[in-house]
Structure 1
Amino acid sequence: MRTWLAALSSLCIAVLSPSSHAAPVALQNYNADLTETSVSGLSSGGFMAVQFAVAFSALVKGAGIVAGGPYYCAQGDADIATRKCSCTGLPVISRCEVAPGSTNVEQLVEITNQRARNGAVDPTANMGRQRIWMFSGTLDTVVPQPVMNDLYTYYRHYIGDDNIRFRKDVAAEHTMPTDGAGNACAELGKPYIGNCGVDAAGEMLKWIYGDGLRPKNTNGLGGRLVEFDQSEFFDDRSPARHGMADRGYAYIPANCDKNINGSCRVHVAFHGCRQNAEEVDDKFIRQAGYNQWADTNNIIVLYPQTTSNFMRNPKACWNWFDFNREDPDYASKNGRQIQAVRAMLDRVAGATLPPDPAPRCFTATNAEHVFAGRAHDWFFLAMANGSNKLIGLNNFFSVTTLKQVGPNHYVVGKCL
């Protein structure tokens, strides 16, 4: 049964509740050195990290993949995503078909090469210099080891074995391994962080950047966690329409706050499904282990955030198979989520801050407002986000004009 809901049922696996905050601030310029950019992710975040590192291989120095899979694994098809790239379909209805070679690596390599020739992704020759760290638990029932083995095969088409470190020797479920935080390593469940005696964040960062990294901070962190507005990184200023939250987070080491040109690197950490701030508060952001290494090594860690949509993305997964059916470029440089994250990187490297936007108005049916993330459903009624103003029945017949007066804050009215 081909359904986006099946795709999200199991795979979808920070720092307070976004609804309890004042409006987030604009992401700032820290004069970071983008030639030292790296990415990582768990589960759907692992697939996203692979997509981003392939799309912008000229930019990305290395990647850490935990329970992910090859580039364009799902090929925009929820059946492939749930049956062959993971075991996440609905029981009985969707039979898992994960097996050695089930992702069809040779076809994915040809697709990658064709996209590189067309300019949809950077030239694949750039991938040869990337440093790749991979982890697959022996007990992973969500993205079993054959999928990660296929990812290794995929990477070997472009990257020498000396540049790949693949750990698959730990009795871990579908989880982000740490050396002290989270659930039991063999447990499957929120927040999908496992006390496995493995410092995955540290191992991947040392592999990507070299053993010259200073030891992690085991005491109180000296940097700060900032909450920033993600809406400005979308042309329509509606991140929810594209599966992302209004707010993202970043850990800024104290030295990076000094804004010394080129003094800091950037690492993008993509959380897994059901691991976003709305689901697990700040657990991924604080417990996954990145900040301790970032603090002593001048690494800014970006934690972009997804959001859930009951009908299309209920588990707040990253877009690795076009769950909205509206972004066929989701795995290329033109993908909406990929473009947004790239724009965040440009910002911390020094792009000019945007002026305060003038009020924007949107005239649409109430159902379209809900779908676009400007309103939400409350017992078949449509309520404007932010103001919680009743705008009428949630249907395709009632038409309303909403005016945006702040990030995810709308009122009934019109722009003059």
Structure 2
Amino acid sequence: MTIAACAFTLSGAFAATPLPAMKAQQVSISGLSSGAYMAVQYQVAYSASLVGAGILAGGTYYCARGSVMTALGGCKDADIADLAALTRKRAEAGQVDPVSKLASHRVWMFRGTLDPLVKQATTDDLAKYYAAFIPAAQVQYKNDLAAGHTMPTDSFGNKCDALATPFISNCGYDAAGQLLQWIYGPLKPRSTGAAGGKLVEFDQSEFLAEPTSHGMANTGYVYIPASCEAGGAGCKVHIALHGCVQDIGNVKDAFARNAGYNAWADTNRIVVLYPQAAAISPMPNPKACWDWWGYDDPDYAVQNGRQLRAIKRMSDRLTGA
């Protein structure tokens, strides 16, 4: 099918394209910073629908416990055994998927050694949390690259130790490729030419009413390789969550175009979903972070959470679930 990048009303006003209905499968997720915390939440809440996750500069499920001060402190006093027990309790109550579904996941973790915002202890705690549910052989933890708080690439961005927009850095290291290959296994080499697919801006309000009131943008992005345009049968889905101030309002499509996923998507038939958060300013979310401490929703970390549920509906659209 043909997918237009955008549409216009008769009056000439912009109207985002609906997210296309597809029949893709093998869904995975990754995220950076607030997107990493959000990816962990999504992974726990909807583990039955995922095969794995990539977590860059993020921490343990529900470690903020609904407190912005705990979140700002990097969850430094997180009780991992207690959070694992809480996860099991929520699973038993049907608030998140059964924890047994996590056991088959493959997880790739990253923290740059020069990251001034997310401390080593925070990602170490996440590794301990995963150990309660996922065999050690299925978790890879990369924590020896001299990178700052950033999405590392080997071809685009700032200096590797920079703390600057768009928080994508040329570190001589392809994080997107590493995490995708860890989650999915051996992949074909990435494309080295111009993008072969289409980056489509789609309407997020279909999945969450009045999204900007709840920390999500009116539109998001999806990258569709040419080989997946005809319905997506046999294609995979990867959900890539940006970090704070990497959203459409701050950097437009810089993360969706340059984080490194699309070149792998082109050669391996992977549809990449880039949901978009939005600022609620001046408070409670001025930097367009994902809700991983409860700024919008007390149910932010369970299946009933507004943002999590919206992303799941997007994923379901792409997989025909």
Aligned mates of 1:215, 1:30 — CA distance in 2: 25
For 1:86-109, what per-residue CA distance to the aligned partner results, in whole angstroms no more than 9, with x for missing partners? xxxxxxxxxxxx4xxx32111111
Aligned mates of 2:146, 2:291 — CA distance in 1: 28
1:176 aligned onto 2:151: yes
Match of 2:248 in 1: 277
Q: What is the aligned counterpart of 1:226 among 200, 221, 226?
A: 200
Task: Give the alignment of 1:239-250 within 5 angstroms.
Answer: 239-250=211-222
State the structure with more CA Rg. 1
Task: Give the alignment of 1:69-218 within 5 angstroms.
Answer: 69-85=59-75, 98=76, 102-211=77-186, 213-218=187-192
CA RMSD of aligned residues (A): 1.5
Task: Give the alignment of 1:294-373 within 5 angstroms.
Answer: 294-310=265-281, 311-324=283-296, 327-350=297-320
Aligned mates of 2:298, 2:232 — CA distance in 1: 39
TM-score for both structures, normalised by structure 1: 0.73
Query: What secondary structure, in the 3-state scheme, does the structure 1 residue paired with 2:29 have?
Result: strand
* Contact 1:84/1:103 (8 A) holds in 2: no
Query: What secondary structure, in the 3-state scheme, does the structure 2 residue paired with 1:107 have?
Result: helix
AA in 2 matched with 1:333: Q
For 1:94-138, what per-residue CA distance to the aligned partner results, in whole angstroms no more than 9, with x for missing partners? xxxx4xxx3211111111111011010011111110000000111
- Please list every run of 5 or more consecutive structure 1 residues that lacks an aligned counterpart in the other structure: 1-14, 86-97, 352-416
- Measured after TM superposition, the shift of residue 21 of structure 1 is 7.2
* Contact 2:59/2:126 (8 A) holds in 1: yes
Q: What is the aligned counterpart of 1:47 among 37, 42, 52?
A: 37
Q: Which runs of 4+ in 1 moved over 6 A?
A: none
Aligned mates of 1:342, 1:273 — CA distance in 2: 20
Aligned mates of 1:156, 1:21 — CA distance in 2: 51
TM-score for both structures, normalised by structure 2: 0.94
Aligned mates of 1:21, 1:323 — CA distance in 2: 32
Aligned mates of 2:291, 2:232 — CA distance in 1: 34
AA in 2 matched with 1:288: A
Aligned mates of 1:141, 1:107 — CA distance in 2: 27
AA in 2 matched with 1:317: C
* Contact 2:74/2:118 (8 A) holds in 1: no
- Measured after TM superposition, the shift of residue 260 of structure 1 is 5.0
Match of 1:414 in 2: none
* Contact 1:271/1:284 (8 A) holds in 2: yes
Task: Give the alignment of 1:5-20 within 5 angstroms.
Answer: none
* Contact 2:221/2:273 (8 A) holds in 1: yes
* Contact 2:204/2:220 (8 A) holds in 1: yes
Match of 2:18 in 1: 26
**Count of residue pairs the alignment pairs up:** 311
For 1:280-305, what per-residue CA distance to the aligned partner results, in whole angstroms no more than 9, with x for missing partners? 12211111000000011010000000
For 1:352-376, what per-residue CA distance to the aligned partner results, in whole angstroms no more than 9, with x for missing partners? xxxxxxxxxxxxxxxxxxxxxxxxx
Aligned identity (percent) is: 51
For 1:52-80, what per-residue CA distance to the aligned partner results, in whole angstroms no more than 9, with x for missing partners? 00101111100000000000010111111
- Please list every run of 5 or more consecutive structure 2 residues that lacks an aligned counterpart in the other structure: 7-11
